[in-house]
Amino acid sequence: MKNILVLYYSQSGQLKDILINLIKPFQEDENCNVIVQDIKPETEYPFPWNKKDFLQVFPESYLQIPQPNRPIPEQIKNNEYDLIILGYTVWYLSPSIPINSFLKSNDAKQLLKDTPVITINASRNMWILTQEKIKRLLIDNKAKLVGNLAFVDKHWNHISVITIVHWMMKGKKTRYLGIFPKPGVSEEDIKNAGTFGDVIKKHLFQKSFEQLQKELVSRGGVMIKPFLIRSDKSGNHIFSKWAAHIYKVGLKSPVNRQKWLNFFRYYLLFAIWVFVPIVFIIFLLTYIPFYTRIKKNISYYQSIKLR
Ligand SMILES: Cc1cc2nc3c(=O)[nH]c(=O)nc-3n(C[C@H](O)[C@H](O)[C@H](O)COP(=O)(O)O)c2cc1C
């Protein structure tokens, strides 16, 4: 009998739907005992969001400052697992606050120690450096990362920026203005998540996860557009300055925090619509000389290794 624990935090239910499909092969197998537990913040984050709340979570998200979660129930915590599936989303190029807070909690230390973990992320498309942060947090918890899957919005970067804002502010995955594509991970990818579940189950029963990530990657489970590595790195560099400043200002004055968050909003719009396209042109112009390094980076970020 294999004991599998699924932990996740999902607001709209997109990540939850992916996980429900992914774990079907385990649930249909009488040799698997599957427990699903969502991570619950003490104070719920709003969904749909309004502009103010959406900005307010920026400093704590980016700086990975934990906020209180409700404890994981004792009967779940006091069990041993053959596999933990950790579903997370990305907020401001870092793990969402509830997931970051969980990974920095004593509950995580108890649950994850010496346990194989597979991470499943469902984000817009900027998840690459967040996974590096997750890798570090898992090491802090003495967990064994054995696999990762990335579910993303596969539309053009700028199209997905427009459609995700519509989704986050309205709360529904509908076509913005009736002309844009639906936001988020495609229905097809959500529906097909179970095929990855089959792969994971096979490796679980083979009693070795050594070849798992290779197989997940070869089946298209971790697609990486090289420009997104560049954007993520630049974004992290810039966010680190803004987040640190706004957090510090906010400790003294909530009014000033809000004022700086408003500046940040305008900066973000400028960065997305002016800065990112310029970086993209430079990226294209330097693609050939940097080709070998780009290829190396892709295979590193698809892996479960930590540099
Ligand atoms: C405050 C906030 C910030 C986000 N920042 C990012 C980001 O930096 N990169 C990204 O790919 N997706 C980002 N997203 C999208 C989420 O990762 C996720 O796909 C979306 O919120 C739906 O997840 P759900 O299953 O919790 O509803 C952000 C979402 C929120 C609410």
pLDDT at 68: 98
Rounded to the nearest 10 degrees, the angle between the axes of helix 128-140 and helix 226-252 is 70
Question: Could you tell me if the CB of 93 is within 6 A of ligand 1?
Answer: yes
Question: Could you tell me if the CB of 90 is within 6 A of ligand 1?
Answer: yes
Ranges of the chain with pLDDT below 50: none
State in Å: Cα 88 to ligand 1 middle.
9
* 48 prior amide bond cis, ω within 30: yes
Contacts of 262-269 spanning 24+ positions with Cβ under 8 A? 262/55, 264/55, 264/58, 265/51, 265/55, 267/242
Distance of CA 48 to the CA centre of its chain: 18
Give residue-wise pLDDT tens across range 87-146.
Answer: 999 999 999 999 999 999 999 999 999 999 999 999 999 999 999 999 999 999 999 999
pLDDT at 261: 98
2-223 architecture in CATH?
3-Layer(aba) Sandwich (3.40)
Domain limits, the chain: 2-223, 227-300
What's the mean pLDDT when you consider all of the chain? 97
pLDDT at 273: 94
pLDDT at 207: 86
Give residue-wise pLDDT tens across range 247-271.
Answer: 999 999 999 999 999 999 999 999 9
* pTM to 2 decimal places: 0.97
State in Å: Cα 216 to ligand 1 middle.
23
Question: Could you tell me if the CB of 127 is within 6 A of ligand 1?
Answer: yes
Helix (H) or strand (E) holding 149: strand 144-151
Q: Which two tokens stand for residue 194?
A: 């179970």
Mutate to test the pocket of ligand 1, among 62, 96, 119, 123 (most ligand atoms within 8 A of CB): 123
pLDDT at 66: 98
- Residue closest via CA to ligand 1's atom 28 equals 91
State in Å: Cα 293 to ligand 1 middle.
29
State in Å: Cα 173 to ligand 1 middle.
13
Distance of CA 154 to the CA centre of its chain: 15
Q: Which two tokens stand for residue 238?
A: 């810039």
State in Å: Cα 186 to ligand 1 middle.
15
Question: Could you tell me if the CB of 85 is within 6 A of ligand 1?
Answer: no
